[in-house]
Structure 1
Amino acid sequence: MSALVRLLRRLRVPTAVLAGLVLAAGGVVGTAAAPARAATSITLNGTSGGRTFDGVGAISGGGGNSRLLIDYPEPQRGQVLDYLFRPGYGASLQMLKAEIGGDTNSTSGAEPSHQHTRSDLNCDRGYEWWLMEQAKARNPNIKLYGLAWGAPGWIGNGNFWSTDMVNYLVSWLGCAKQHGLSIDYLGGWNERGYNVSWYQQLRSALNSNGYGSVKIIAADSDWSVANDVNSNPAFASAVSAIGTHYPCGYRSSQSTCTVPAAALNSGKPLWASENGSDDYNGGAQAMARGINRGYIDGRMTAYLNWPVVAALTPNLPYPTMGMALAAQPWSGSYSIGKNTWVMAHTSQFTSPGWHYLDASSGYIGGNRANGSYVSLKSTNNSDYSTVIETMDATGAQTLNFNVTGGLSAGTVHVWSTDVRSADPADHFVHAADITPSGGGFSLTVQPGHLYTLTTTTGQGKGTATGPARGALKLPYSDSFDGYTTGTEAKYLMDWQGAFESVACGGGRGGKCVRQMSPQKPITWDTLTDPHALLGDVSWGNYTVSSDMLLEQPGYAELFGRAGGHDYDRTGGQNAYRLRVSDTGAWSILNSNTDGTVATLARGTTAALGTNRWHSLALTFSGSTITAVIDGATVGSVDDRTWAAGQIGYGTSQGETAQFDNLSVTPGSGGNDGGTAGAIVGVGSGRCVDVPNQSHTAGTQVALWDCNGGSNQQWTTTSAGELRVYGSDCLDAAGQGTGPGTKVDIWGCTGGANQKWTIHSDGTITGDQSGLCLDATGAGTANGTLLQLWTCNGSSNQKWTRD
């Protein structure tokens, strides 16, 4: 080991910097993790042809994935926004696609429409306008893109491909103009095919209404639209680019990207207009491949990650996907993911309008397993950047570069990220500067890394960090009086329908929350009744109460212990619900993600009627659930299916009910004791996690970054169980009692293999086996499976409760 390297290590220089040290003329010799292979020569030729780069960015939409960000306190809210949008700081997004709300669930919740009815228009609803404004304030050059997932049911009498929908998009552009926003791109219907004549009608309407500069992207589904672009000149004239979703495979490694000849020959820019759907850390390797390989394999010139941020509660679908995790506005806690730094390796070193250099892009040594590289040159025809990924390489590789064709012969700045590392100090590091000699220089690249070589400057890495996570404390209340009409109440997340602040009806002053959608929407996912959720998934024993007014015959609901959702198959929700109708009929319901709704109790009280205020309450104390209407207890049941979860409001389809004076007060421990919480490994700092939020019996639990997800919330019961999702237990598989028995989830049976003892020394032992809950192989990485093992006092057998 050289004296220089020993010195750098004593100074705690990050490993990514050590790995990125280069050999250049008069430069520094660095060490490698493994012996370098034979050098590969790469020519960076500024005269090479190549397509125009359109940008990399992300998507706010497909539900409420950005919903909670607006509720963050400062300075944390501004810090997250800086990491997403500020040039030379974090992800530095070059494009933001925003959902055009339709009052219907579109994966992770619903976004409000600017026109709930034909005669209704409010350009200040929701948070997408705010988010686009914040993005533009930080980066005036960011491109904005609008796309609808669903729409209010009045449009075309339920027909999306209608003149009503064209006019709806034009009115949305008018709202954007009111907010000082210029929309660059507009799509049709997310992942629901296309209608050729409708796109042509949309183009004509945009032109005639002063939006001729807005470019249409088709069809945000698959590549089949290219066939009609090629065969229909009028359609081709209407469409500016072809955008498809997951062209490198859905939630795949993105090792290979496929584009048919019809698309390549269309003459249109080709975009990966939605990609990702991966964890904000776990998706980094796939993204690193996909951004590069999308161009190499298919000449795609834009890459949009879904979504931009995970700012939603963890019981909703895809709770950790995005560039960052920001799911706790009450604590201000947030985490910046590795996806941010992978994106930065392209976004901070390029701009839309740059050109790819085809002759200077490809696979290292012609072998995909070695990694890939793409080169782009600036509009000044001198500056350039080359992005190199070695996700699948098995050893160090030396690359010899020759710079020609008018590209700058100046200093080359090297930035690197060890994508395999969990240490933030190894992410987005300015590793070295190289002075080329005779038009050439060399770089030794390490496996599992991402590098950018650039002649540009101005890049940087933000230093702000968020506070620790914390539960939303009880009691919690909201009178709703402080909100502007049309806005969403703090922390209240729409799942279906639209719950907004309005002037109260029924002779009451002040503001209330009203369900605004008066008809069945044009859905993207499975239709459910309108409902919205609020609170912490760890809330266990509490009383939720609220005033309620029905505006028309129908019913309203008060939710409690609301947990996971099945967003596409059934639309089902794990929850208890108190349902009351205008006739006075009431019921206590138990619903689940299978779409099953069981009636636990029912009865009739005095008719509630319409336009009259009433009070509702649900109390949870262990397994006892008590319902109260207008101060009188109407029913009490014993059920232990759901141990913890959020509160919420619901209505029947089209019922525009109002709610006021929300209150959530803590209760006693009851039979099951306490609230849910995480189990954190002392040795790993990671949580006991049900992989992929699976509900499948027999799923082996594992370690994963703590994210507050419902699949990481474990409730200790008086019976000695550790419950997740309310009804599944931590389980010694097959009633095994020997070392190596896998630990999984299974429906609670009361069996001895589902009983656990938590000891003061941090160990958790199975009552049946006497063995310790153990991270296999003393592993600490994400995905390390858990098992039973002979207790040995090691840190991989020590746990804390969060």
Structure 2
Amino acid sequence: MSSNRGFAIFFLELYLAAWSQEVAAGPLVVDRTRLGNTFDGVGGLSGGGATSVLLPNYAETSRSEVLDYLFKPNFGASLQILKVEIGGDSQSTDGTESSHMHDSETVDLHTGYEWWLMQEAKKRNPDIKLYGLAWAFPGWVGEGSGDPFKFPKQTARYLVEWVTGAKSEYGLDIDYLGIWNERSSDSNFVQVLRKSLNEAGHTSTKLVVKDGDIGICNDLLKDKAYADAVDIVGVHYPNDFADFSACHQLAKPLWASEESSSYDDMNGAACWGRVINSHWVLNKMTASIMWNLVGAYYHGTNWYASSMLTSVEPWSGHYEVNPVIWATAHVTQFTKIGWRYLVNGSGSGELPRGGYFATWVDPSSTDFTMNFVKISRDHASCTRPHLPTFQTSEENVTVLLAPSMRPPAELEVWYSNFEAYGNAEPPLFQHSTVQVHNNKFSLHIPVGAMITITTIKTGGKGSFQHIPPSSPSFPLDYVDDFQSTDDSRNARWFADQIGSFEIHRAEDGKRSLRQMVTQLPIGWSDKGSRGPMTLIGMREWQDIKVQVSFRLPAASAKRSPADAACVGVRVDQMWQNGVVLCNLAHVDAYCDIVRSAEHP
């Protein structure tokens, strides 16, 4: 009896302690007179690399639906920033994207698909911001040195041609330009690039440096001329518990310019929803951009199933709308670039029992949006970085809206729970309302929740009546003579992995698929050391027949004679495994079984 009584007293003490802490915390006060930094948006990244390659091959209906889910306002992800790879003719994760300048003399503004994607995004949302970044460079910019900064004017001209071409050929203004993804940056080069952009009339294009780690902040603090040429500090996969004091001393916008790389399931949505809020609350980051935008690359290549939306079956038209779409919509549908954050303690901060909340206000009206996110430690992690241990539990909060907020009597509520695994149909982006009494409203926040409270009434969970059923097997027989494909384009359903393959006319006037890279690129993950290669089909194929007609081009002023043409089966994206048959220039045939050291 005495032991039970002791337990009861102990339990009561714990309960009262928790109750007193909650009361002591009081209501969450929201006051628009306490403005923070300007909000720069939430975006998605196409590239790094070739992550969107299969999307243009979809039939129009499915393709337009995918694009609507990504870019159409008040429908799906409603993205505010589109970041794309500036193709560099080299493998950059899931493939190669073609450069606009394979050599120093020719500018081809019809290569690849990023121009098309940016146009489609702008059609749906004219206010979307565009951001270009190189993962690799053609070898000629470094004149064989492997260093893109050795001849800064040459590399600057290469990037400026891309920005200029976007405007002259497609009417696209490039808002942001990066330097070299997750590789070195260079003070002299960035200054030359800034000057070159200005001279070409692109004074409004802002430079983001360096799309990598936070060490760049110390570099900029030590070099005023370098810092003066930079507009935005972009860091990748930032650790919210690191020291960002050097970055804040720069007094420049700080972005998570690449983030997530996590699975496209509920865990991925939980990760993404968490960092959109925590990056502001803990480190004053004003933009987050998710890699990757759309998973339109073959199964078996790197980082499969890490996308906002999956579209890997152009032959069937099937696509999958992933939960990450709705985590994104919680912010993008109810904010605009140029709104202002409210500072911690007056609209943003950490929730008493774990989690984060942020508030954005429209400086030109009384509109505002609040977002609450509470994710458990087991589901909060992104692929990187590691998270420390922390606790979360459900709670009820009261929000006190200061007179400066001028709230209406009723606010819109959008609710998701990314840890509702027991439900057959988990709650994703569900709509309701909450009443405001005496400038207050109350909210229950369970673990796993992402909740938006807003004055904006235009939000919507878009859908289409019929998504074609999945048919994952690549359809055979497949035949293509490339005659109906426009020059400079990628071939239907092919995914370049090393080198760049484009449709061009041969001497006889007929089109063929031509490998365009004649000099080793300045690579990101591979410089082409195993030779050029493009993929089509499935690694799971076993008994198939392949017939290819090819020609080995003769030597010219720009091209060395080709040594061989090869066909491989069951190969991976880097020529490390598979069975390969080659026809050499001076030998009838050559066969090799390629196995990597990891797969003997």
The amino acid across from 1:444 in the alignment is H
1:384 aligns with 2:401: no
The 2-side partners of 1:421 and 1:540 are apart by 40
Give the unaligned 5+ runs of structure 2.
1-18, 377-390, 555-560
The amino acid across from 1:85 in the alignment is F
The amino acid across from 1:455 in the alignment is T
1:542 to 537, 541, 544: 544
Q: Is the 8 A contact 1:156 1:163 kept in 2?
A: no
The 2-side partners of 1:244 and 1:559 are apart by 40
The 1-side partners of 2:298 and 2:241 are apart by 32
1:591 aligns with 2:594: yes
1:396 aligns with 2:394: yes
Give how far 1:38 is off: 4.8
Give how far 1:557 is off: 3.6
1:575 aligns with 2:578: yes
Listed one character per residue, the Cα deviations across residues 381-409 of structure 1 (whole Å, up to 9, x for unaligned) are 52111111111275431110100152131
The 1-side partners of 2:570 and 2:252 are apart by 46
The amino acid across from 2:42 in the alignment is V
Q: Is the 8 A contact 1:363 1:373 kept in 2?
A: yes
* TM-score, normalised via structure 2 length: 0.87
Give the aligned CA root-mean-square deviation in angstroms. Answer: 1.9
- Structure-1 residue corresponding to 2:98: 112
Give how far 1:427 is off: 4.3
SS in 2 for 1:183: coil
Count of residues in Structure 1 that have an aligned counterpart in Structure 2: 545
Listed one character per residue, the Cα deviations across residues 573-602 of structure 1 (whole Å, up to 9, x for unaligned) are 32211112111153212223548xxxxxxx
Q: Is the 8 A contact 1:413 1:430 kept in 2?
A: no
Write out aligned runs for 1:737-776 (5 A).
Answer: none
Listed one character per residue, the Cα deviations across residues 341-374 of structure 1 (whole Å, up to 9, x for unaligned) are 1111111111111111112111111x5xx21111
Write out aligned runs for 1:493-642 (5 A).
Answer: 493-505=495-507, 508-528=508-528, 529-552=531-554, 553-565=561-573, 571-584=574-587, 586-594=589-597
The 2-side partners of 1:361 and 1:588 are apart by 63
The 1-side partners of 2:55 and 2:424 are apart by 23
Q: Is the 8 A contact 1:428 1:461 kept in 2?
A: no
1:241 aligns with 2:232: yes
Give how far 1:154 is off: 0.8
The amino acid across from 1:125 in the alignment is T
Write out aligned runs for 1:228-267 (5 A).
Answer: 228-248=219-239, 256-267=240-251
The amino acid across from 1:361 in the alignment is S
- Structure-1 residue corresponding to 2:183: 192
Q: Is the 8 A contact 1:383 1:408 kept in 2?
A: no
- Structure-1 residue corresponding to 2:7: none
SS in 2 for 1:447: coil
Higher fraction of helix:
2
Give how far 1:442 is off: 0.5
1:291 aligns with 2:276: yes
In structure 2, the CA distance between the partners of 1:136 and 1:61, relative to structure 1 (3 Å rule), is same
SS in 1 for 2:132: strand
The 1-side partners of 2:498 and 2:526 are apart by 10
Write out aligned runs for 1:630-709 (5 A).
Answer: none
- Structure-2 residue corresponding to 1:171: 161
- Structure-1 residue corresponding to 2:323: 338
- Structure-2 residue corresponding to 1:313: 298
Could you list the runs of 4 or more consecutive aligned residues of structure 1 that deviate by over 4 angstroms after TM superposition? 37-40, 422-425
The 2-side partners of 1:215 and 1:549 are apart by 45
1:160 aligns with 2:148: yes
Q: Is the 8 A contact 1:46 1:381 kept in 2?
A: no
Write out aligned runs for 1:47-446 (5 A).
Answer: 47-158=33-144, 159-161=147-149, 162-177=152-167, 178-248=169-239, 256-281=240-265, 282-358=267-343, 359-365=346-352, 367=353, 370-392=354-376, 395-410=393-408, 411-421=410-420, 425-446=425-446
The 1-side partners of 2:454 and 2:241 are apart by 26
SS in 1 for 2:210: strand
The 2-side partners of 1:421 and 1:324 are apart by 20
Higher fraction of strand:
1
The amino acid across from 1:263 in the alignment is C
Q: Does 421-430 or 579-588 show the bigger shift?
A: 421-430
The amino acid across from 2:406 in the alignment is S
The 2-side partners of 1:427 and 1:91 are apart by 16
SS in 2 for 1:236: helix
- Structure-2 residue corresponding to 1:28: none
- Structure-1 residue corresponding to 2:469: 468
The 2-side partners of 1:590 and 1:175 are apart by 43
The 1-side partners of 2:202 and 2:321 are apart by 36
Listed one character per residue, the Cα deviations across residues 448-502 of structure 1 (whole Å, up to 9, x for unaligned) are 1110011112111111252222122211100110011100110011101110101
Give how far 1:257 is off: 4.4
SS in 2 for 1:168: helix
Q: Is the 8 A contact 1:488 1:501 kept in 2?
A: yes
Q: Is the 8 A contact 2:501 2:515 kept in 1?
A: yes
The amino acid across from 2:460 in the alignment is G
* TM-score, normalised via structure 1 length: 0.66
Listed one character per residue, the Cα deviations across residues 320-361 of structure 1 (whole Å, up to 9, x for unaligned) are 111011111111111011111111111111111111111211
The amino acid across from 1:56 in the alignment is V
Quote the sequence identity (%): 35
Listed one character per residue, the Cα deviations across residues 267-306 of structure 1 (whole Å, up to 9, x for unaligned) are 0000000111111114111111111111111110010101
The amino acid across from 2:224 in the alignment is P
The 2-side partners of 1:544 and 1:259 are apart by 56
Q: Is the 8 A contact 2:503 2:511 kept in 1?
A: yes
Q: Is the 8 A contact 2:69 2:75 kept in 1?
A: yes
The 2-side partners of 1:592 and 1:283 are apart by 33
Q: Is the 8 A contact 1:564 1:593 kept in 2?
A: no
Q: Is the 8 A contact 2:310 2:319 kept in 1?
A: yes
Give how far 1:142 is off: 0.3
In structure 2, the CA distance between the partners of 1:286 and 1:396, relative to structure 1 (3 Å rule), is same
Larger RCO (CA under 8 A, 6+ residues apart): 2
| Greater Rg by CA | 1
The 1-side partners of 2:576 and 2:325 are apart by 32
The amino acid across from 1:416 in the alignment is Y
